[in-house]
Structure 1
Amino acid sequence: MNNARPATVIILGGLRVGLPPLCRRAIPLHRPRVSPHTSASIPCRRQSTAPPATRPSGYTEIAQPPRRPTTQGRPKKNPPAGRLLKGPEDEGSAQEKINSITAHASTGRLYELLRIEASIGDFQKVEGYAECLMSKHKEAPNMRIYSALILANVNPLGSIASVTDYIRQLRADGFDLDNIACHDILKVLAVHPDYLLRSEILEYMQEKWLQLNEAGRHDLVAGYLRDNSFEMALDEVDHMKGEGITIRAWLYDMLIYALCKRGEFDEVLRVLEGRIADGDDNISTLLWNYLLDTSSAACHYELSTYVWKKRVQTSYISPPLGVHLNVLTAAARQGDTRLATDVFAKLSSRSIVFEPIHYELLVEAYVNAGDIDTALSVMCVMQESKLIPTARMTRSLLKYMGKDEDKLNEVFESLRSMAHYGKGVPTAALNVVIEGAIYQSNLEKAVEFYKTLHEICPSGANIDTFNELLRGCHYSKRKDLALLLASELLALGLKPDQLTYDRMLLVCTQEDDYEDALLYYREMRIMRVDPRNGTLLLLVKTMVKKGDGRVFAVVNDMEGRGGDIRANVNRIKIWIQRNWVGDKEVMERGLWGED
């Protein structure tokens, strides 16, 4: 028979608490109370090692004489700082201190000390005071002692198993959990989470009409957070604020850290704004730094901006350089030029030597804000600072132009205007305009832009300029223009790179007469430069369709290369065997070396 209970929602002292379904039979938390005392003598301590017998729900135990709460096997107090193990001398000195205190302390004072030490989780002192109360002061076991023993499990070495053991013992002694004990259990659950026990305690408090006080509700939220029940924790905090309860700083901190760890930065910002709106602005510098670090690393613009304006602009905190770069990245993506320039100002005040990545992000910020003139001006300033802009810096400009010819012309006219006023326009800025024209399948306009390059860019064309034009020649199948460009780049004294050769090879392979392609391929082999895999496969397919036996030399070169192309040589040979249109004997000798 399935004893699992469905999830319920109860109202506890005006508090809505969601209870998850129970998947096992829990410890009964309410039994008919028996007489608390049947003997004036103090019974001997005993500890059962056998597991408790399973009983049906609602059972009633036979009344027994009260026993001393069993503390054997409980964890002891943590060793002092810097000590991994606690030696006999520590135990002895602690016991001597307990003896000196209990020698002259009154019963009332011992109960006060018992509660104080329980709240900090000092097992040894709690057990010592409890033992003194029952043996020397003839106190019978009572809920004040049981509550202290339960509360002592707030120690990191405590456990829910110890709590449930004490619940069994106090039930056996005829006691019921009172309001203090229930709150103590919730406090322990805030350290050692157990959602089943928490649900049972809340149900019990509802049945007994026990009110959950403010401290208990704080412990309840802490337990939810330790149990990763973030939605329930946030709902409870909202209900507490709605009822006018002041949320304590430690719970706010715990909530913010937990949400940041989970990456819920929208909720973090909401909680943070609510906390400050409630007048609690006493937030530690450590937490502010943590918020800025985690939110900027995740490029969460809203939270990063909020913390930056609250604490960095006002010079309350000075984050490390990596955090500055993260905030600059978030600002660039959102096009927040004010935040981006403020980051630059902060870096400049620390005498930082700016790197290309800083300028790249600043350019991206202005482009995303639609301020193209300023974005291009930043590139000019970068060149004046002896940092040559590269194609990487212009990706945001290329994305901005896209397929829009008007935006392409806008960028070009802006460059021409800067050159007219004597600004040194970097070559990379005009290269991206040429690249944009190629992307828009307008090779003629790209060539027109190239013809104006010597007027706009003092440094003239570079190899990237010709590589972009050759890409356009490949797309437009303009071998004639590609050969002219190849002659011009040599006349300018530029050295072709691997991409230049590769694109010339692509252009020439598209023609029926691919002899020029083979010439470029031989030149690449002499220079020990390899074509890209796709280019090499295109050359092989073109030669196979013509039955050109020189293809086998290319295949042999593939076997000498590394990477994917070498791993697929056998598959390429099989494809050649199936698609060969020339002499079969030539093919067999070329592929397999057969006579």
Structure 2
Amino acid sequence: MNRLVLAKVLTSPLRQGGKQWTPKLVRFNSTVATESASKPVKKMVTYMHPTAPLSSFNTALTSQLRTRGGPKRVLENVLKIVNEIKRQNLRLDLDSYNAVLIAYSRAKENRSVMRTFDEMKQDNVEPTLDTYNIILESLVGFADVQSQTRIKNEMKEKKIPFTSHTYYHILHCLCKADELEYALDTLEEMKKSGVQPNLRSYAVMIGGCLRLSDPTTAFDLLKEAESSGLAVESQPRVYMDVMRVGAINDNLDIVNYCWDKAVGTYSLRPDEGTCLNVLRVAAKMGETKLATDVIRQLSNSGYPYKEHYFTPLMEAFTVKNDLKNAFNVLDIMRVSGIPPSMRATLPIRKHLDRDVEAIDQAYYLLEEMKKEEKTVDISAFNVVVGACADAKDIERTIATYREAGNLGVVPNVDTYNAVLEACIQTRMKDMGIVVVDEMKKAGINPDLETYNKMISLACTQRNYEDAFTYLEEMKSYDIVPPESCYAKLANKLAYEKDPRFHMVLEEMETFGYKVTPRIRRMWNTESTY
């Protein structure tokens, strides 16, 4: 409505006998979006004849509801018109009250909605279905189930029939309040009354299942919507919601079904978090095809390859006891520009889990790959060496380490660190020194982990002076020793009652490490050595 015309309404009294302008009968339909609103306008039908005293005011009210602007500003203008109506000693009718209810609802002023509704009945203005739907929708934003129940009961007492929109608002409010059981009962009531649930009702129910982590109910609702002949394809994100709740609860059947629909059929692009959840389920259940599809989808969606995308695929192969393909994943990672770290190989290492026979079989697979002229990735070799160390088998560890050349791999710092771990497990200090010497001859610089392990190895001996040598060597390279180094050394010094224990604690504090009461108590208690 033109602002000049509205200003005239607000500043000039209406003439009962004449016309200031000729308003037209205005009708709203909640299913049609207006040019001025970002969401559909709530349904409101005006019943007043254009010549009635309130006609011009109601026209102004409906025009305000259609104007562009924030809900608060629209409400302010609506209330100005209402004040003018009251100033002229006119009484608000059904159209007026419905307009005010809509304005309050959009401004999210729930208390004012209910207050206006009570005033409406006090003025003997009988609410209609439109009125009740406006109120029910306003209650959704506040999850006000108590007020909703009051409105619902009142509608039943007055025998006002519920429509699919009425039930939708009721279900939406219940789900937002996490009253899923009550919502399911209401859905059954809806069907028994002969009102066919629409797709929006199913969607909002599935959203409630997602919040409450109920995959079975979510999937049942989805299948019910499909079997009811509803155009689920018009809202394919419903499949995404069901897939999310299925993934959270490790339900592979639901995840597979919804992934095929959402991604395969409707070409939706799940976000990274959803993909990672699906990857986790695929890894746990050994679904290598699904894991591969998810990694491909992540790439298609523009996410650069990351190490933790491939780790679940590796785990899925280990679940299927397909260690050879798990090794192949490491080579795929390197070709994709993601050099695997020792952390990436944890699924394989966990699969071997100190089982000497399984470790030997893993080594034979590497030999087989070499015979087939396939690349043996250094990470695959390192994980076998590391598994030998986990089994505390120093002979097997060294023997495997010596076979690097025959497998066509060149040991790296992770290889030597894995061998050092075996030396720690067996307290073989001399072998550790040999490994470090070979490492240096190969032109490979020790890293933080190497020094950490050498200090740990020195602390397994009666003569642990080398631990201080390694500590000082680290600092000479401007490397701040990690807290774990100091903790290990402090533990050894406390066990030996070496007074340098206190010096180590002081140095820890110098580097900003917190010296806990447990560490301080080491001096007066038995150590783990």
Which residues of 2 match residues 432-447 of structure 1 at below 5 A? 432-447=383-398
Alignment gaps of 5+ in structure 2: 27-45, 67-74
Tell me whether 319-328 or 524-533 shows the greater mean CA deviation: 319-328
Q: C-alpha separation between the residues in 2 aligned to 1:219 and 1:546? A: 73
2:429 corresponds to which of 479, 489, 492: 479
* 1:259 and 1:265 in contact (8 A); partners too: yes
Equivalent positions of 1:48-447 (< 5 A) are 89=4, 91-92=6-7, 100-102=21-23, 109-110=49-50, 148=98, 152=102, 155-157=105-107, 159-168=110-119, 170-171=121-122, 173=124, 185-186=135-136, 188-190=138-140, 194-207=144-157, 211-241=161-191, 245-257=195-207, 259-260=209-210, 267-284=217-234, 287=237, 291=241, 305-314=256-265, 316-318=267-269, 327-346=278-297, 354-384=305-335, 387-447=338-398
Q: Deviations over 1:381-406 (max 9, x none)?
A: 34455653221220111222224444
Residues 412 and 444, structure 2, Cα contact 8 Å, conserved in 1: yes
The structure where helix makes up a greater share of residues is 2
Asked which structure has the greater RCO (Cα within 8 Å, sep 6+), the reply is 1
- CA RMSD in angstroms comes to 4.9
Query: What percent of counterpart residues are identical?
Result: 20
Once the 2 structures are TM-superposed, how far is the Cα of residue 169 of structure 1 from its aligned partner? 5.5
Instruction: Letter of the 1:371 partner, please give it.
Output: D
CA 532–126 in structure 1, closer or farther in 2 if over 3 Å, else same: closer
Query: How many pairs does the alignment contain?
Result: 486
Classify the secondary structure of the residue corresponding to 2:458. helix
| Partner Cα distance (1:207, 1:489) in 2 | 87
Query: 2:484 matched to 1:563?
Result: no
Q: How does 1:527-546 map to 2 (within 5 A)?
A: 527-540=477-490, 542-543=492-493
Tell me by how many angstroms 1:528 deviates. 4.2
Shift of 1:436: 1.9
Please tell me the residue identity of whatever aligns with 1:394: T
CA drift of 1:426 comes to 1.3
Q: Distance in 2 between matches of 1:222 and 1:351?
A: 35
Quick check: 1:470 aligned with 2:431? no
How far residue 272 of structure 1 moved from its aligned partner, in angstroms, is 2.7
Q: Residues 177, 421 of structure 1: CA spacing in aligned structure 2 closer, same or farther, 3 A cutoff?
A: closer
Q: Is residue 256–residue 271 contact of structure 1 (8 Å, CA) maintained in 2?
A: yes
CA drift of 1:279 comes to 1.7
Q: Secondary structure at the match of 1:493?
A: coil
Q: Are residues 430 and 281 of structure 1, via their aligned partners in 2, closer, same or farther at CA, if it must alter by over 3 Å?
A: same
Give 2:35's aligned residue: none
Using the TM superposition, give the Cα deviation of residue 265 of structure 1 relative to its aligned residue in structure 2, in angstroms: 5.3
Using the size of structure 2 for normalisation, the TM-score is 0.72
| Contact kept in structure 2, 1:466 and 1:489, CA below 8 Å | yes
Determine the C-alpha separation between the residues in 2 that align with 1:382 and 1:516: 39
SS of 1:313 mapped into structure 2: helix
Whether the 8 Å contact between 1:389 and 1:426 is mirrored in structure 2 is no
Which of 432, 435, 450 aligns to 2:401? It is 450
Aligned to 2:346, the other structure's residue is in SS state: helix
Deviation for aligned residue 1:119: 13
The residue aligned with 2:43 is none
CA contact (8 A) 2:24 2:59 kept: no
Q: Is the 8 A contact 1:408 1:437 kept in 2?
A: yes
Q: Output the CA distance in 2 between the equivalents of 1:180 and 1:549.
A: 85
Query: TM-score if structure 1 supplies the norm length?
Result: 0.65
Task: Please state whether the residue corresponding to 1:280 is helix, strand or coil.
Answer: coil
State the Cα deviation string for residues 201-231 of structure 1 (Å, max 9, x = none): 4444555566545443333223324544333
Residue 460 (structure 1) aligned to one of 404, 410, 420: 410
Measured against aligned partners, the alpha-carbon deviations of 1:91-125 in whole angstroms (never above 9, x if no partner) come to 33777999534599998645998799889967888
Shift of 1:418: 0.8
2:410 corresponds to 1:497: no
Partner Cα distance (2:170, 2:511) in 1: 65
